[in-house]
Chains A and B, each alone.
Chain A
Amino acid sequence: MSVEEPSLAVRPRPAPFFLRRRFLRPFAPVASLAVVGLVALLVSANLLLPFERLVTLEGAMGSKSDFFDDERVRDLLLGHHVRVHVTRQGSRDAATADLDSLDFVFPSGQPAAELATQQRRAEGKYNTVHRQFVSPIVLATYREYAETLRTAGVATPQASPGFDRPYFYDLDMGGFLDLMRAQKSWDDLNIRAHGVTNGNQVLAQTSDVCRANNGATYLGLVSYITHRGVPATEQEAIDLAIKIKPLLRGQGLPPPASAELYFVQEGRQTAPIIVIYEHQYLAYQLHRRERFGELDGDRVLLYPSTVFQTQPQFIALTEDADRLGRLLATDPDLRRRALELGFRVLDPTGVTSSEQLSRFLAEQAVPEPSTAASDTRALLPDVPLLEKMISVVGDCSPVVSK
Chain B
Amino acid sequence: MGRLTRLLAVLCAVIAVLPGCSTIRSEPVTLRVLASSELADLAPVLADLRADTGVELQLDLRGTVDATNALAPGDYRHDLAWLSSDRYFQLKLTKSGYTGPKPLSTRIMLSPVVVGVKRATAERLRADGPVSWADIADRAAAGELRFAMADPRRTNSGLAALVGVATAAAGTGRALRPEDVTCDRLRGLFTGQTLTADTSTELIDGFLAHQGELDALVSYESVLLSLNDSSRLAEPLEIIYPADGIIQSDYPLLLLDPTKRAAYDRVVDWLRSEPAQRQIMERTARRPINPDVPRSPRLQVATGNALYFPDRPEVIDILLANYDAAGTDPPGHVIFLLDFSGSMRGARITALRTAFADLTGTGEATFTRFYPGERFTVIRFGARVLAEREFTADDQADLAALRDFVATDSFDDSTAVWSTVDHAYDLAAAITAVDARRPVSIVLMTDGLSNTGITLNDFLDRHRTRGSPVPTFAIRVGEADATELARVATATGGQMVDASDDALPAAFKEIRGCL
Chain A residues within 8 Å of B, Cβ to Cβ: 26, 29-30, 33, 36-37, 40, 43, 54, 56, 78, 81, 83, 85, 87-89, 93, 97-98, 183, 185, 197-201, 203, 249-257, 260-261, 263-266, 268-272, 284, 291, 396-397
Contacts and interface: CB of A to CB of B under 8 A. Distances in A.
Given A183-B173, A199-B171, A269 B11 contact: no
B248 A83 contact: no
Interface of B: 3-4, 7, 10-11, 13-15, 18, 87, 90-91, 99, 101-102, 104-107, 110, 130, 171-176, 243-246, 248, 250, 265, 287-289, 291-292, 295, 300, 302-311
Contacts of A251: 174-175, 308
Given A253-B91, A264-B287, A269-B302, A201 B7 contact: no
B110 A33 contact: no
Contact of A263 (B175, B287, B291, B304): B291
A26 B248 contact: no
Contact of A37 (B11, B87, B291, B307): B11
Nearest to A200: B173
B366 to A, nearest CB: 15
Nearest to B107: A260
A253 B160 CA distance: 13
A89 B303 contact: no
A78 B176 CA distance: 49
Nearest to A271: B306
Given A253-B309, A270-B110, 20 more contacts: A26-B7, A33-B7, A36-B18, A40-B11, A43-B15, A89-B104, A199-B173, A200-B173, A201-B172, A252-B174, A252-B311, A253-B87, A253-B175, A260-B107, A261-B250, A265-B291, A265-B300, A269-B303, A269-B306, A396-B99
A139 B394 CA distance: 51
Contacts of B3: 29
B308 A200 contact: yes
A83 B12 CA distance: 12
Contacts, number: 120
Contacts of A37: 11
A335 to B, nearest CB: 23
A54 B14 contact: yes
B90 A253 contact: yes
Nearest to B292: A291
Contact of A256 (B18, B105, B176, B287): B105
A291 B244 CA distance: 36
| Most chain A C-beta atoms within 10 Å of own C-beta, residue among B87, B105, B305, B307 | B305
A51 to B, nearest CB: 11
A87 B310 CA distance: 27
6 contacts: A40-B11, A83-B10, A183-B172, A199-B173, A200-B307, A252-B176
A358 to B, nearest CB: 26
A78 B6 CA distance: 15
Contact of A268 (B106, B107, B245, B302): B302
A265 B287 contact: yes
B7 A29 contact: yes
A396 B304 CA distance: 32
Contacts of B4: 29
Contacts of A265: 287, 291, 295, 300
B303 A266 contact: yes
A208 B300 CA distance: 30
Contact of A81 (B14, B246, B300, B307): B14
A257 B311 CA distance: 17
A270 B303 contact: yes
Contact of A40 (B15, B102, B244, B291): B15
Nearest to B167: A252
Contacts of A56: 10
A342 to B, nearest CB: 16
A68 to B, nearest CB: 13
Contacts of B91: 253
A200 B244 CA distance: 9
Contacts of A257: 107
A82 to B, nearest CB: 10
A396 B99 CA distance: 8
Contact of A250 (B87, B174, B245, B305): B174
Given A252-B309, A254-B311, A266 B10 contact: no
Given A54-B14, A56-B10, A266-B248, A185 B173 contact: yes
